[in-house]
Structure 1
Amino acid sequence: MKATRIIPILRIFDYQKAVEFYVGWLGFKIVWEHYFEENAPVYMEVEKGDIVFHLSEHHGDGTPGTRVMIWGEGISEYRSELIEKKYKYNRPGLEKTFYGAVSFTVNDPFGNTIIFNEEYVEEKHKDLEFSSIH
């Protein structure tokens, strides 16, 4: 089997808070939104580059407290962009992990955790300042 796309479904409880966090702060864009009927919960897709999430207000779609690990490049630069936005609910520190990554973690308003990782390369990352592990 070869996976061509993996899309986590994350439970949300408030459309405006989800848009503030995922679009306003993390820089995702809304691809589509679906409502089964008027005054129904939203089910939506957001993306940033190759990262795709489905966000759902529907009971039973996902569980609050889900953790998603994302591997990519430019993690420290992306973290710097987020810090510059001064989002009052998240100020993630940069860490060098035990599993050989440069990493930072964000927590969405609904209890979900997203961990952004990049393979640690000594020559490329030697001058980064890392937060202490907590």
Structure 2
Amino acid sequence: MDPEFQSVVPILRIFDVKTADEFYLDFLGFTVDWDHRFDNNAPLYRQISKGGLILHLSEHHGDGSPGIKIRVMMKRGITGYHEWLITKKYRYMRPGIEKGYGGPDSQELTVIDPFGNTITFCQTEKDE
């Protein structure tokens, strides 16, 4: 029997919740789905989402390595998302759209979080 896979949820290492919130919530527009701590002095493990994209952020040692790269495939909306990000005036990043590697109409938008993790949003067809 072939397995039926549902999705992949990357775990990105973070070192400061306030800094992570400024980047992921305020700049990228994600929403916190839930937080988990074993107690008030324990590291945070959090799920965030935007549309159908789910990411986990973790302060736990050993949960992900800082500096990873993930590619997020998009069906549409990269141009509008880029325009929206630029209006945020995030002081540490002003990403651009570049030619991608998924065909003649492929576009990519890359952001790097404050912990060295790279997220590249990829769209292979032009927005209508």
TM-score (normalised: structure 2): 0.91
Q: Is 2:111–2:120's contact at 8 Å kept on the other side of the alignment?
A: yes
Matches within 5 A, 1:1-134: 1-72=3-74, 73-100=76-103, 101-121=106-126, 124=127
Aligned equivalents of 1:29 and 1:88: distance in 2? Answer: 20
Say which SS state the counterpart of residue 26 (structure 2) adopts.
helix
Aligned equivalents of 1:113 and 1:80: distance in 2? Answer: 19
- Cα root mean square deviation, aligned: 1.2
Task: Structure 2: give runs of 5+ residues left out of the alignment.
Answer: none
Sequence identity, in percent?
Answer: 48
Task: Structure 1: give runs of 5+ residues left out of the alignment.
Answer: 126-134
Aligned equivalents of 2:101 and 2:6: distance in 1? Answer: 29
CA change 1:38–1:98 in 2 (3 A) is closer
Measured against aligned partners, the alpha-carbon deviations of 1:13-68 in whole angstroms (never above 9, x if no partner) come to 00001111100010000000011112111000000010000000000000001111
TM-score (normalised: structure 1): 0.87
What is the count of residue pairs matched by the alignment?
Answer: 123
